[in-house]
Amino acid sequence: MTHEAVIGLEVHVQIKTRSKMFSRVAAGYGHPENTLTDPVVLALPGTLPVMNKEALDKVIKAGLLLGCEIAPECKWDRKNYFYPDSPKNYQISQYDQPLCRGGFVEIELPGPARNVMGEHRKIPLTRIHLEEDVGKLTHAAGVSLVDFNRAGTPLMEIVSEPAIHSADEAFAYLTALKTVMIYGGISDCDMEKGQLRCDANISIRPAGASALGTKVELKNLNSFSFVRDGIALEVSRQLSVVKAGGTVAQETRDYDGQTGESKSLRSKEMAHDYRYFPDPDLMPVQVGEEWKSAIRAGCPELPFDKQRRFQKEYDVPYTITSVLVPDPELSDFFEEAARLCGRPQAAGNWIANDLLRELGSARIGLGQSRVRPAHVAGLVKLLEGGVILSTAAKEVFIDMFRSGELPEAVVARRGLKSETTLDELERWCGEAIAANPKSVADFKRGKDSAINAFKGPVMRAAKGRADPKRVDDILRRLLAR
Amino acid sequence: MPCSSSPRWSSRRSPEAVSEELYYSTISELSRLLGRRELSAVELMRAVIERTKKVDGRVGAFNSFDEADALAQARASDERRSKARGDGAAAPSRPLEGIPVGIKDVISVAGQPLTASSRMLARFVSPYDATVTLKLREAGATCWGRLNLDEFAMGSSTENSAFGVTSNPWDLERVPGGSSGGSAAAVAAGEAVAALGSDTGGSIRQPAALCNVVGLKPTYGRVSRYGLIAFASSLDQIGPFARSVGDAAWVLGAIAGHDRRDSTSVKAEVPDYHGGMAALADSGRKWRLGIPKEYFGEGLDSEVGAAVEAAIGEYRGLGCEVREVSLPHTRYAVAAYYIIATAECSSNLARYDGVRYGSRSGGATDALDIYFRSRAEGFGPEVKRRIILGTYVLSSGYYDAYYLRAQKVRTLIRRDFLEAFTQVDAILTPTSPTPAFRKGEKAADPLAMYLNDIYTIGVNLAGLPAISIPCGFTRGGLPIGLQLIGQPFRETELLAIAGAYEGHTDWRTRRPRL
CA distance B407 to B413: 10
Respond yes or no on whether the N-terminal peptide bond of residue B179 is cis (omega within 30° of 0): yes
Amino acid in position A178: K
State the DSSP H helix or E strand holding residue B323, giving kind and residue range, or none if neither: strand B321-325
Nearest CB to A80: which of B116, B228, B347?
B347
DSSP labels for B117-186? T-GGGTT-B-SS--HHHHHHHHTTPEEEEEE--SGGG--SSSTT-TT-PPPBTTBTTB---SSSHHHHHH
Give Rg (Cα) of chain B.
Answer: 22
pLDDT at B19 over 50: no
Cβ-defined contact of A280 to B226 (cutoff 8 Å) = no
Q: Does A84 touch chain B (CB under 8 A)?
A: yes
pLDDT at B251 over 90: yes
CA distance A393 to A400: 10
Q: What is the pLDDT of residue B449?
A: 83
Q: What is the pLDDT of residue B90?
A: 43
Cβ-defined contact of A273 to B396 (cutoff 8 Å) = yes
Alpha carbon B423 to its chain centroid, in Å, reads 28
Minimal C-alpha gap between B426 and chain A (Å) = 27
Report which of A465, A306, A455, A479 is spatially closest to residue A392, judged by C-alpha positions: A465
Minimal C-alpha gap between A19 and chain B (Å) = 14
The DSSP call for residue B468 is E
Q: How crowded is residue A426: how many other Cβ atoms within 10 Å of its Cβ? A: 15
pLDDT at B15 over 70: no
Q: Does B392 touch chain A (CB under 8 A)?
A: no
Per the CB < 8 A criterion, the answer to whether A20 and A132 are in contact is yes
Percent above pLDDT 90 for chain B: 88
Report which of B207, B453, B419 is spatially closest to residue B341, judged by C-alpha positions: B453
Summarize pLDDT for A243-271 with one digit per residue, the tens.
999 999 999 999 998 999 999 988 765 66
Query: Helix A303-313 crosses helix A328-341 at what angle (to 10 degrees)?
Result: 20
Q: What is the pTM assigned to this prediction? A: 0.90
Per the CB < 8 A criterion, the answer to whether A87 and A121 are in contact is no
Report which of B453, B348, B234, B111 is spatially closest to residue A46, judged by C-alpha positions: B348
CA distance A158 to A127: 6
Amino acid in position B159: E
Q: Is A88 helix (H, G, I), strand (E, B) or coil?
A: coil
Q: Say if residue A125 is exposed, middle or buried (CB neighbours under 10 Å; 0-12, 13-18, 19+).
A: buried
Q: Which residues of B touch A269 (CB under 8 A)?
A: none
CA distance B333 to A335: 67
Residues 131-190 of A with CB under 8 A from B: 144, 146
User: Residue B16: which pLDDT band, with cuts at 50, 70 and 90?
Assistant: very low
Cβ-defined contact of A283 to B108 (cutoff 8 Å) = no
Residues 142-171 of B with CB under 8 A from A: none
Minimal C-alpha gap between B192 and chain A (Å) = 23
- What contacts A421, CB < 8 A, 6 or more positions away? A386, A387
Catalytic residue ranges of B: 104, 179, 203
More confident of the two residues B490 and A461: B490
pLDDT at B499 over 50: yes
Minimal C-alpha gap between A69 and chain B (Å) = 26
Q: What is the pLDDT of residue A480?
A: 86
Summarize pLDDT for B326-347 with one digit per residue, the tens.
999 999 999 999 999 999 999 9
CA distance A71 to A97: 7
Q: Say if residue B281 is exposed, middle or buried (CB neighbours under 10 Å; 0-12, 13-18, 19+).
A: middle
Please name the residue of chain A whose CA is at the shortest distance from the CA of residue B259: A50
3-state helix, strand, coil in chain B (%, to 5): 45, 15, 45
User: Residue B86: which pLDDT band, with cuts at 50, 70 and 90?
Assistant: low
Residue from B235, B263, B339, B371 whose CB has the most chain A CBs within 10 Å, to mutate: B263
Q: What is the mean pLDDT of chain B?
A: 93
Q: Does A87 touch chain B (CB under 8 A)?
A: yes
Per the CB < 8 A criterion, the answer to whether B426 and B497 are in contact is yes
Cβ-defined contact of B226 to A46 (cutoff 8 Å) = yes
Tell me the average confidence (pLDDT) per consecutive run of 10 residues in chain A, 481 residues long.
94 98 96 97 98 98 98 97 96 97 97 92 98 95 92 98 97 98 97 95 94 93 94 97 94 92 80 92 96 97 97 95 96 97 96 97 96 97 86 93 96 82 85 92 91 89 78 90 78
Alpha carbon B322 to its chain centroid, in Å, reads 28
User: Residue B362: which pLDDT band, with cuts at 50, 70 and 90?
Assistant: confident
CA distance B367 to B359: 14
H helix runs in A166-253, sequence order: 167-183, 224-243
Report which of A46, A255, A371 is spatially closest to residue B109, judged by C-alpha positions: A46
User: Residue B452: which pLDDT band, with cuts at 50, 70 and 90?
Assistant: confident
Average the pLDDT over B64-69 and give the result: 98
Backbone dihedral angles phi then psi of residue A323, each to the nearest 5 degrees: -90, -40
3-state helix, strand, coil in chain A (%, to 5): 40, 20, 40
Q: Is A390 helix (H, G, I), strand (E, B) or coil?
A: helix
Q: What is the mean pLDDT of chain A?
A: 94
Residues 237-266 of A with CB under 8 A from B: none
CA distance B199 to B456: 9
Q: What is the pLDDT of residue B87?
A: 54
Q: Does A44 touch chain B (CB under 8 A)?
A: yes
User: Half-sphere exposure of A325 toward its Cβ, with a 13 Å CA cutoff?
Assistant: 22
Q: What is the pLDDT of residue A47?
A: 98
Strand pairing category for A77-80 and A90-93: antiparallel
Cβ-defined contact of A50 to B261 (cutoff 8 Å) = yes
What are the beta bridge partners of residue B212? none
Minimal C-alpha gap between A228 and chain B (Å) = 34
b/e string for A336-359 if b means 16 or more Cβ within 10 A?
bbbebbebbebbbbbbbebbbebb
Q: Which residues of A touch B108 (CB under 8 A)?
A: 45-46
- What contacts B154, CB < 8 A, 6 or more positions away? B160, B179, B231, B345, B382, B383, B386
Average the pLDDT over B64-74 and give the result: 98
Cβ-defined contact of A280 to B371 (cutoff 8 Å) = no
State the DSSP H helix or E strand holding residue A55, giving kind and residue range, or none if neither: helix A53-65
Q: What is the pLDDT of residue A143?
A: 86
User: Half-sphere exposure of A331 toward its Cβ, with a 13 Å CA cutoff?
Assistant: 22
Q: What is the pLDDT of residue B91?
A: 46
Q: Does B110 touch chain A (CB under 8 A)?
A: no
DSSP labels for B411-446? HHHHHHHHHHTTT-SEEEEESSSSSPPBTTTTTT-H
Backbone dihedral angles phi then psi of residue A27, each to the nearest 5 degrees: -100, 145
